[in-house]
Chain A
């Protein structure tokens, strides 16, 4: 019997099949949005002693049930909050802060180490507004830290933190950690939260 060669399989539709699968995966892929604002909750055990804090060192931010913002007893728009917080933190009222660029107003905060932002919200406040306010307050700290890092190390604080996390970064991580801690100590994040 004559030997017949097996007929070639037509691979012309291979591309179509692959395209179909490709489109399926393209559509179902959701690049996960796992990024957000990191916060640390205060531990449960309350310290017994009452710490006395001067009124001028506290920056009160109040959010009511109608999502209205009251900052230092005045109604404020969200867009002005970041600037107000920066001015408060960077004020340096007792002149002990050598790097502060603020107004040195004696009626406002003494220095960034003592300045505390107090955020109070109502049970009816919507989460969206709360996150916006959190975001603006964190932004105020980040901007101040960035400016400080630029003057000290001519590098933004964000960049320093990104380098520190980056496993492929070639520099000396221990030195970088010291620098980061220095900036953090210059502008410590002191944000206290209450819910009414």
Chain B
């Protein structure tokens, strides 16, 4: 039996490689918090990635234990106070083209175990700066099975 010609194998592998290179989205933010998102099944996709502002919340992860044990907010790459949300939103808005500002959505990426007090505070701040479109980012899955 003649050996199978493997000369085109690198080409095939390179094709796969390019696909994954293009599909890979590197995280913009280094997470300093635990971010185990809750499950939901009535989800909608956030289609325009550049029109999303991310607010993370959760308790500090293993390496940042010195910041305490209760849930904290993370904006960009650092921990933030609830009061800093307003300036964060203003900065995000300023960085976008003016006509796109009304379409901005705030994605709340909050850890499952965070309590609602913090979320309530965030929502109140967002209302103050009139950033009313929000999205509770979740994983897709059944609510009942994963409780």
Contact = CB atoms under 8 A, between A and B. Distances in A.
A36 to B, nearest CB: 4
Contacts of B37: 33
Contact of B117 (A34, A124, A134): A124
A127 B13 contact: no
A42 B112 CA distance: 24
Contacts of B123: 41
Contacts of A21: 17
B45 interface: yes
A131 interface: yes
A132 B37 CA distance: 12
B52 interface: yes
A64 B139 CA distance: 24
Contact of B20 (A22, A32, A40, A121): A22
Given A21-B17, A38-B44, A126 B116 contact: yes
Contacts of A176: none
Given A34-B52, A44-B130, A132 B38 contact: yes
Interface string A175-196: 0000000000000000000010
Q: Classify the interface of chain B: helix, strand, loop or mixed.
A: mixed
User: What's the interface size class on A, roughly?
Assistant: 35 or more
Interface string B77-115: 000000000000000000000000000010100111111
A66 to B, nearest CB: 12
Interface in A32-53: 32-44
A41 B111 CA distance: 20
A25 B127 CA distance: 40
Nearest to A194: B120
Counting chain B residues whose Cβ lies within 8 A of the other chain, the interface size class is: 35 or more
B127 A29 contact: no
Contacts of B41: 135, 139
Given A22-B20, A32-B25, A78-B144, A123 B116 contact: yes
Contact of B136 (A19, A29, A37): A37
B6 interface: yes
B42 A142 contact: yes
Interface of A: 11, 14-15, 18-19, 21-22, 25-26, 28-44, 63, 78-79, 121-132, 134-136, 138-139, 142, 165, 195
Given A41-B123, A41-B134, A131-B143, 18 more contacts: A14-B10, A15-B9, A18-B10, A28-B24, A31-B23, A34-B45, A35-B43, A35-B138, A39-B136, A43-B132, A123-B117, A126-B112, A131-B38, A131-B136, A132-B38, A135-B42, A165-B47, A195-B120
